[in-house]
Amino acid sequence: MSETPLPKIVVLISGSGSNLQAIIDQVTQGNLKCEIACVISNRAEAFGLERAKQSGIKTQVINHKDFDSRESFDVFLQSQIDLYNPTLVVLAGFMRILTASFTEHYEGKMLNIHPSLLPKYQGLLTHKRAIAAGDDFAGVTIHFVTAQLDGGPNIIQAKVAIDKDETENSLAQKVLVKEHLIYPMAIQWFIENRLKMNQNQTVLDEKVLNEQGFELD
């Protein structure tokens, strides 16, 4: 009896891997119908590597410091990812800026999770900047990765209120709860072929989404 093989994803991490864990949990529970072919980290000490091993998932460390340029790191990273011929590449707290040649290779097939309501607060220290600006809301965005840093089309956004006396830490904790909910959703949509990138826009169920993407809440 032959069963259709599950679509394969490769997850790139740099740190704690709590988003990776949320994805693993949904795969384990049978809600997310894919196989995590490999978890690749640019940092050997990333706790996410332990999470993957705990679940019997293959891991690889590719230390960017072993390469003399961003280009040579990306070329090697790409060669390792392509060994699995994945349907989708998932950036889950991956902290290295990727070259245009890398992002073009996976165009429409690579997602990122960014802890802000993009297009607000691209780059780093998003929660700190949202609090300093006196914003009423912060949140998280899943978007397609393009050469433009944190600039690819939005897929899903979830909001949280910024309370008075909110700290960077308390805000990060609240946003992470939403992160863990929406990343598996976006991956499932992609795997079911409901989600596409077309002309730098997100298409879900044949409909072009607005700039925010699908708004949860």
> Residue 126: helix, strand or coil by DSSP?
helix
Summarize as ranges the residues that interact with ligand GAR (CB under 6 A): 13, 15-19, 48, 92-93, 95, 113-115, 176, 179
Would you state the structure tokens that stand for residue 78, as one six-digit string? 């790409």
Which residues are bridge partners to 159 per DSSP?
139
Q: Which is nearer to ligand GAR, 166 or 203 (CB)?
A: 166
Count residues near ligand NHR (CB under 6 A): 16
Q: Which of 64, 114, 127, 180 is catalytic?
A: 114
| The one among 123, 137, 167, 177 contacting ligand NHR by CB under 6 A | 123
SS3 per residue for 90-113:
EECCCCCCCCHHHHHHCCCCEEEE
CA distance 93 to 110: 13
- Tell which positions 86-115 bind ligand NHR, by CB under 6 A: 91, 94-98, 103, 112, 114
By a kind-dependent CB cut-off of 5 to 8 A, residue 16 interacts, out of ligand NHR, ligand GAR, none, with: ligand GAR
E-state strands within the chain: 8-13, 35-41, 59-61, 88-91, 110-114, 137-144, 154-161, 195-198, 201-204, 207-208, 214-216
Binding segment for ligand NHR (CB under 6 A), chosen from 127-135, 142-150, 165-173, 189-197, is 142-150
Q: Is 127 a catalytic residue?
A: no
The residues binding ligand NHR (CB under 6 A) are 91, 94-98, 103, 112, 114, 123-124, 145, 147, 149-150, 152
